[in-house]
Amino acid sequence: MSRRAGDVPDLVRRATEADPRAVARLISLVENDSPVLREVAAALAPYGGHAQVVGLTGSPGVGKSTSTSAIVTALRAAGKRVGVLAVDPSSPFSGGALLGDRVRMQDHATDPDVFIRSMASRGQLGGLSAAVPQALRVLDAARCDVVLVETVGVGQAEVEIASLADTTLLVVAPGFGDGIQAAKAGIIEIADVFVVNKADRDGADQVARDLRYMQSLGGRHSVPGAWRPPIVKTVASRGEGVEDVLAALQKHCAWMAQHGELERRRQARAAAEIEAIALGTVQRRFAQVHGSAALSAAAERVVAGETDPYTAADRLVEAL
């Protein structure tokens, strides 16, 4: 099944025509950090900027997957093409994606205008794999109108997903007080739209009030003229309120475009991506220039208490 590098332009052409097999193949190429990754990235470059990238995050159990599926259904009803990336950054091992919840996505599995992909891989420097932004580029090139990036993990992943998205959607639910606690100020700061799912349950109003209260405590949302994240109530399992989520996403997108925020976010994202790639290159160069022997010798001296890691690191950099 291997393809030669010469196939890349053809694959990209077919991806821009929304050929599902070409899309799947290109994501595999970027996910496996194959030698043709750079060629793929270069070929994709002209086709970006179409999709609204929506990060979907929240604690386990709040109904993230159900929400994703319901949003996909609503977007499809509106005639939109949709990509879904389910990312599990907790795993440094490939092939270990938690696919259990993905079952819900099978409603969309046969829809040629829905692309669904799970990614389990994780980057060398910790954090999300560099493959995730490239996979987003593939789905963007395939003319997806919206790409939903859902994280399976919690905590740090939430912050990182937000850094990849145009719009970040935080899903909460009544009975997950701990979840909101865990979400902490950081996640509240990062969300552009709040979804209170399972809104038919007791406590949904209280959750919404809690969110509003946390917003009122300050942060970037309280700056005059800033986007004020709406709080949308849903029962995703019955599709209730999902149209309101779509409206909130569109409103946020329009607001960002109007205020130059979309451009600003996308540039910040590109800058972070360039820097991460450059650091990866430098890291590989460390290995080439010094060999593992020099690093091992330095590590030995640190373990023996003869030097400290900062002094050892300085020498490593100087020798570059």
Residue choice 5, 21, 93, 200 for contact with a copy of itself (CB under 8 A):
93
182 binds a copy of itself (CB under 8 A): yes
109 binds a copy of itself (CB under 8 A): no
Name the one range near a copy of itself by CB under 8 A: 77-85, 123-131, 169-177, 227-235: 123-131
- Smaller CB separation from a copy of itself, 11 or 199: 11
- Smaller CB separation from a copy of itself, 200 or 308: 308
229 binds a copy of itself (CB under 8 A): no
Cα 192 to chain center, whole Å? 14
Look at residue 175 and give its three-state secondary structure: coil
- Write the binding mask 208 to 227 for a copy of itself: x where contact by CB under 8 A, - elsewhere: --------------------
CB 49 to a copy of itself: min, Å = 7
100 binds a copy of itself (CB under 8 A): yes
Among positions 52-91, residues that touch a copy of itself (CB under 8 A) are 60, 89-91
Residue choice 126, 205, 226, 257 for contact with a copy of itself (CB under 8 A):
126
53 contact partners, CB below 8 Å, separation of at least 6:
136, 140, 146, 147, 149, 164, 165, 166, 167
- Between CA 280 and CA 277 the distance in angstroms is 5
**Which burial class, exposed, middle or buried, applies to 203 when counting CB atoms under 10 A from its CB (0-12, 13-18, 19+)?**
middle
- Smaller CB separation from a copy of itself, 184 or 228: 184
CB 120 to a copy of itself: min, Å = 9
Q: What single DSSP character describes residue 131?
A: H
Residue choice 186, 200, 201, 222 for contact with a copy of itself (CB under 8 A):
186
191 binds a copy of itself (CB under 8 A): no
Name the one range near a copy of itself by CB under 8 A: 37-45, 62-70, 79-87, 224-232: 37-45
- Between CA 174 and CA 205 the distance in angstroms is 8
Largest CA distance in the chain: 66
Residue choice 160, 166, 192, 210 for contact with a copy of itself (CB under 8 A):
160
- Between CA 153 and CA 161 the distance in angstroms is 10
Q: Which long-range contacts (CB under 8 A, 24 or more apart) does 19-24 make?
A: 20/112, 20/115, 23/115, 23/138, 23/139, 23/142, 24/115, 24/117
- Smaller CB separation from a copy of itself, 78 or 311: 311
271 binds a copy of itself (CB under 8 A): yes
